[in-house]
Amino acid sequence: MKNYRIYWVLLISFVIIAAPVKQVRAQFVIGEVIKLTVTKVIKAIDLKVQRMQNKTIWLQNAQKVIENEMSKTRLTEISGWTAQQRTLYSNYYMELGKIKSIIANYQRIKEITLKQAALVSEYKRAWTLFRQDSHFNPQELNYMQQVYAGILDASVKNRMRSCWW
């Protein structure tokens, strides 16, 4: 009986001692499982965040490329407008130059015409005086008429050359 008692005491002691060890081991196993699960979840979330960051960076780069192309297009448009303005004003100033030249030529023609009118007026006055003067014979009058006709003819030819535009 003593053996039974010892046996029972040992059995109860073992159960009392062994029970907490199994319970502690079970807690370690559950803790490890939870730890592994949490680690996997954290890694999955981290991977998802990295993918989203990569996608965001890719989208930002795409946005920069698009903005650069838009700026390039805008600059091309502006340079086109500038070229059009340059051509427009170049033509405008060339036409103004032509007009200025023509106006200057008209002014010159006006001066020549006034001088020719004065020359003709002087010729008429002088011719009237020459014809009234009795000291000139018809041959001399004829010669003076030829000289004045030559002067008037040269004046007209000079005017024609200077009017060439």
Q: What is the pLDDT of residue 3?
A: 54
pLDDT, position 64: 92
Residue 12 CA to residue 6 CA, distance in Å, equals 10
Residue 119 near residue 147 (C-beta atoms within 8 A): no
What per-residue confidence (pLDDT) applies to 165?
Answer: 47
Q: What is the mean pLDDT of each run of 10 residues along the chain (165 residues)?
A: 54 54 59 80 88 93 91 87 88 88 81 85 87 86 88 78 58
Residue 145 CB partners (closer than 8 Å, separation 6+): 127
Separation of alpha carbons 3 and 42, rounded Å: 57
Q: Token pair of 160, please?
A: 């024609």
> How many CB atoms within 10 Å of residue 162?
13
**Alpha-helical regions (H) of the chain:** 2-132, 138-162
Looking at residue 15, what is its pLDDT?
52
What is the DSSP code (8-state) at residue 136? S
Q: Are 165 and 101 in contact (CB under 8 A)?
A: yes
Decide if 120 contacts 152 (C-beta within 8 A). yes
| Vertex 43: Cα angle to 39 and 49 (nearest 5) | 145
